[in-house]
Amino acid sequence: MPVQKRFFGLRHAFNGLGLFLRSESNGRMHAAATIAVIALAAWLRCSLAEWAMLAIITGMVWLTEMLNTAIEKIMDYVQPDIHPKVKWIKDVSAGAVLVAAVTALTVGGIIFVPKLLAL
């Protein structure tokens, strides 16, 4: 694949991220939470393995939130009216975000709570 095509693909990806952050309050909330996690991990001097776990779980939350948003937008386009099947699809995709967020809170607790208690 030519470099120019790769560049345009990357440009579209960054555009999508920007659209997500500008249009979705949950995106801005995740950005603030990510900054807080990075700051706390730096302040508590997390190990490389802890940084890796935090990066993976943070990416998982971002991924699920962005996919949930895309699914919701698609369903709103395909079926603007309230429909039980659309509700099911939206609820399940929102549930995926909840699972990711609870998992992130658990991992964050495992990493941060002992360090904070030791201060």
Coil vs helix vs strand at 45: coil
Instruction: State how far the alpha carbon of 21 is from the alpha carbons of 16, 39, 47, 65, 116, in Å.
Output: 9, 20, 29, 11, 31
Per the CB < 8 A criterion, the answer to whether 91 and 99 are in contact is no
Closest CA to 41 of 118, 116, 117: 116
Could you confirm whether 65 is annotated as catalytic?
Answer: yes
Angstrom distance (rounded) from CA 72 to CA 68 = 6
Candidate list 24, 50, 65, 72, residue with the active-site label: 65
Give the integer Cα–Cα distance in Å for 26 and 97: 11
Q: Which residues are catalytic?
A: 65
